[in-house]
């Protein structure tokens, strides 16, 4: 028999069985494999759901989809930081690796959360470009290439929820929609066709739970996995809404 001790990886995972049940911790120890990420470790646990105490348990529930950090589904709190588990490489993480759900959102089960509120917010702020009509609207105005490249950065948002998790003003006591949908307003207002609905979007974020709830902690821009200039978007929207509110109050015969 060989005496060599195999290298292992320890995980402490915050779990809960139903949306309303109390969370508890479960600890797992896995055999180390090179280039492991958090998802491959979770898959390994799923294959053999036995915790460190040797008890057989249920597989861990989590969300995932693209596995290349573009869909935003697999976000969770890893060693205290909200991020995508697909790009969380075990080699770069301190052990034991602690996994928790992003509790800003309602927890469905274990590490799986319900991010519906973000998609509802996108609908609220009309984060799209209306091009449908009863007749052919023809080609839209052209967008300068430089602007397209700039807008591309804002379009990288994958609604992952990390900025909402990091924001101290997004919590159960407030209705704040959070940085992600706000930045989308800036993206769609910058588009030559989207600009036609600029005032509508601005007025929406001037409503309850909107832009004014930002307290400038700037955690969002520091935490965004896509490096989106969220706080610049917010400040730019602050300027736009300032002008919009003056326009609304003092009036103008121009639409």
Partner 1 sequence: MAGNREFFNRRLHSLLGVIPVGLFLVQHLVVNHFATGGEESFNNAAHFMESLPFRIFLETFVIYLPLLFHAIYGLYIAFTAKNNTSRFGFFRNWMFMLQRVTGVITLVFVAWHVWETRVAAAFGAEVNFQMMENILSNPFMFWFYIIGVISAIFHFANGLWSFLVSWGITVSPRSQVISTYVTIGIFIALSIVGVRALTAFI
Choose the stretch contacting partner 1; rule: CB under 8 A; options: 32-40, 108-116, 144-152, 213-221: 213-221
Residues 180-209 binding partner 1 (CB under 8 A) are 203, 206-209
Cα atoms in the 13 Å half-sphere on the side-chain side of 247 = 13
List the one residue out of 112, 103, 105, 194 whose CA is nearest residue 155: 194
Confirm or reject binding of residue 231 to partner 1 (CB under 8 A): yes
48, with CB counted inside 10 A (0-12, 13-18, 19+), is exposed
Choose the stretch contacting partner 1; rule: CB under 8 A; options: 12-20, 83-91, 153-161, 245-253: 245-253
Confirm or reject binding of residue 212 to partner 1 (CB under 8 A): yes
Confirm or reject binding of residue 174 to partner 1 (CB under 8 A): yes
Number of residues that bind partner 1 (CB under 8 A): 40
Burial 107-125 (b: 16+ CB within 10 A, else e): bbbbbbbebebbeebbebb
DSSP 127-181: -S-----SS---------HHHHHHHHHHHT----SHHHHH-TT-STT-----HHH
**CB 240, min distance to partner 1, A:** 7
Q: What is the sign of the dihedral through the CA atoms of 156, 162, 167 and 173? A: positive
**CA–centroid distance for 177 within its chain:** 12
**CB 104, min distance to partner 1, A:** 9
Longest dimension (CA), the chain: 88
- Interface with partner 1 (CB under 8 A), residue from 91, 120, 216, 247: 216
**CB 228, min distance to partner 1, A:** 13
Nearer to partner 1, 96 or 209 (CB): 209
**CB 44, min distance to partner 1, A:** 27
H-helix or E-strand containing 83?
A: strand 81-84
Cα atoms in the 13 Å half-sphere on the side-chain side of 57 = 22
- Interface with partner 1 (CB under 8 A), residue from 58, 140, 217, 247: 217
Confirm or reject binding of residue 67 to partner 1 (CB under 8 A): no
Choose the stretch contacting partner 1; rule: CB under 8 A; options: 6-14, 65-73, 150-158, 239-247: 239-247
Choose the stretch contacting partner 1; rule: CB under 8 A; options: 86-94, 110-118, 130-138, 163-171: 163-171
- As a whole number of Å, the end-to-end CA separation of the chain is 83
- Interface with partner 1 (CB under 8 A), residue from 10, 23, 222, 247: 222
Confirm or reject binding of residue 151 to partner 1 (CB under 8 A): no
Q: Would you tell me which residues interact with partner 1 (CB under 8 A)?
A: 80-81, 166, 168-169, 171, 173-174, 203, 206-219, 222-223, 229, 231-232, 234-242, 245, 248-249
């Amino acid at each position: 028999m060989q005496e060599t001790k195999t290298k292992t990886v320890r995980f402490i995972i915050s779990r809960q069985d139903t949306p309303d049940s109390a969370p508890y911790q479960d600890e797992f120890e896995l055999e180390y494999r090179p280039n492991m990420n958090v998802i491959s470790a979770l898959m390994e646990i799923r294959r053999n759901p036995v915790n460190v105490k040797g008890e057989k348990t249920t597989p861990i529930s989590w969300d995932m989809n693209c596995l290349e950090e573009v869909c935003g589904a697999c976000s969770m709190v890893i060693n205290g930081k909200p991020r995508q588990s697909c790009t969380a490489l075990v080699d770069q993480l301190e052990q034991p690796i602690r996994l928790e759900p992003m509790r800003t959102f309602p927890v469905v089960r274990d590490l799986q959360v319900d991010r519906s509120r973000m998609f509802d917010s996108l609908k609220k702020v009309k984060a799209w470009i209306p091009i449908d009509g009863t007749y052919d609207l023809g080609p839209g105005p052209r967008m300068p290439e430089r602007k397209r490249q700039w807008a591309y950065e804002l379009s990288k948002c994958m609604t992952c929820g990390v900025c909402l998790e990091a924001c101290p003003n997004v919590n159960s006591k407030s209705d704040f929609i959070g940085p992600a949908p706000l930045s989308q307003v800036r993206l769609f207002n910058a588009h030559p066709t989207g600009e036609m609905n600029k005032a509508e979007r601005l007025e929406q974020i001037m409503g309850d739970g909107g832009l004014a709830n930002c307290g400038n902690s700037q955690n969002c821009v520091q935490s965004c996995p896509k490096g989106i200039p969220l706080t610049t978007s917010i400040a730019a929207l602050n300027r736009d809404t300032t002008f919009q509110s003056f326009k609304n109050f003092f009036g103008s015969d121009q639409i």
